[in-house]
Structure 1
């Protein structure tokens, strides 16, 4: 049975979804900070919106439509959270949707890193980008592939998410973005879509979880063996993106900087940004305007 909760709150309430206990992090093997844990937003549970903006974007004052549901995923063999975010004042019928993938130890709501919702709403309101929304789902900790038999998050993304979106009047995913482990997953998703001859318009990887060492990757217990990791690792298959518009953003103090620099040097993406910062919301807030601009630019192309 599907349970459904529509959440319509001020953007500050959405901050509880994406930021939760902001600034709280830990480390896995000295490599990957844990994402903040999220608190569930409640209907009408408005929270104060901070004064001032980030990189010229003022916090949105109009109410944002956030819908969170619990759905059963046959591909994963379990119930998951299905979260959609749409800007206010736009037609949601066939609204282009960007798949947004969370990082290690995250949930659907954790994919909304930094001030991403604020930036999206402000950019759409100003006409800087065409209207689009985000959709995110629970993927657990398996780097968005079938690491455990019968639990296939990539299958969910490819087979179920388009149907769930269509059932709610949205478009299929037209682009994909992800943070940390989700950045790895977004690049893998783009590859899978191309292999299926279902090209998306763009892929955006924020602080992607690209490691150069199996010793470090094996600590995450997300792959059966080194061979499986190497078969899926975007670093080892740069040709699989086939001229797809790719954007990559990473901080110069990010634990994934080595692998991400190598990816940028090899793939030469449309955007390959290395700027001061780490693997945290403080850094994400500095690059989300560029991420939204990149996605908007690609979505506006025919």
Structure 2
């Protein structure tokens, strides 16, 4: 694992401890999640932090809908990851952005739903949820005419949340998280919200796709040209998230580690965690406990 200095070193070590401790608890109950029945005594459930007043513990709940996005000109999946089957009305929500060739159903790293449900059940964090939506393979910005995923996030998602009783009276997500291309998108979303004078309370990027050279990015055929890319690239706009607590996680064998290290050096995010790992769910799942905890610490005060 990289050895950051000062505060970042302490945060990274703390994240590692959170990941290790929570991972043990989740592993112990995983065999029971298919039915919702935890196959251990209630005393052991309490030790693992997932006990409730009944022998049946609901470790999170997922809902999937299909909605029409005018911004994207198509039907999209709208996926809710909730801490329980019956969350409170007005539940704060964080966006969760998927990676390249992904979709809303695959946006969450392994274990995120269980971790959220467990942490909320044992009151390690206050209740909140995640909402994911299909954004295509365009780095969460408009590439093709009639398809604007960022407009969908900024304009339509709050309407969808409000209509379903989530995210308070305005339906505005309090945070945004993302993996890979979704990490790039989360940083861009935070910038756009800040430009509107509606900054999110927190941003979390897991292995964000921060590519350091145009020839390499050009291979993806996502941007119309170098100017389009540099206008959006978080590495070229290090002050865009000033004042917004940000967490960045990346494996040291990840192909994006060079760009992530440059971003960490330039911005000094609240959490800067690097450890051995590649660009895969094997690494992504190790940071889930820290991710859930980090966003949970930045819930609106009225939540």
Q: TM-score, normalised by structure 2?
A: 0.79
CA distance in 1, matches of 2:36, 2:257: 35
Partner of 2:180: 180
Of 57-66 and 173-182, deviating more is 57-66
How far did 1:46 drift?
4.1
More strand by share: 1
After superposition, the C-alpha distances for 1:203-230 in whole angstroms (9 at most, x for unaligned) are 0000000000111111111100010000
Q: Where does residue 10 of structure 1 map in the other structure?
A: none
Structure 1 counterpart SS, 2:81: strand
Q: Secondary structure at the match of 2:298?
A: helix
- Equivalent position of 2:228 in the other structure: 228
Contact residue 97 and residue 173 of structure 1 kept, 8 A: yes
1:130-169 map, 5 Å: 130-169=126-165
Are 1:96 and 2:78 counterparts? no
Q: What TM-score do you get using the length of structure 1 for normalisation?
A: 0.80
- Aligned-partner SS, 1:104: coil
More helix by share: 2
State the distance in 1 between where 2:142 and 2:95 align. 18
2:237 is aligned with 1:237 = yes
Query: Structure 1 unaligned runs (5+)?
Result: 1-44
Indicate how the Cα distance of structure 1 residues 278 and 144 shifts in structure 2: closer, same or farther if over 3 A, else same. Answer: same
Query: 2: distance between equivalents of 1:81 and 1:167?
Result: 16
Larger Rg: 2
Q: CA deviation at 1:231?
A: 0.1
- Alpha carbon RMSD of aligned pairs, Å? 2.3
1:79 aligns with 2:75: yes
Please give the per-residue CA displacement for 1:279-299, whole angstroms capped at 9, x wherever unaligned.
111111211101111101111
Q: Tell me the SS of whatever aligns to 2:239.
A: helix
Pairing of 1:1-302 with structure 2 (within 5 A): 46=34, 61-62=57-58, 64-88=60-84, 91-171=87-167, 172-299=172-299, 301=301
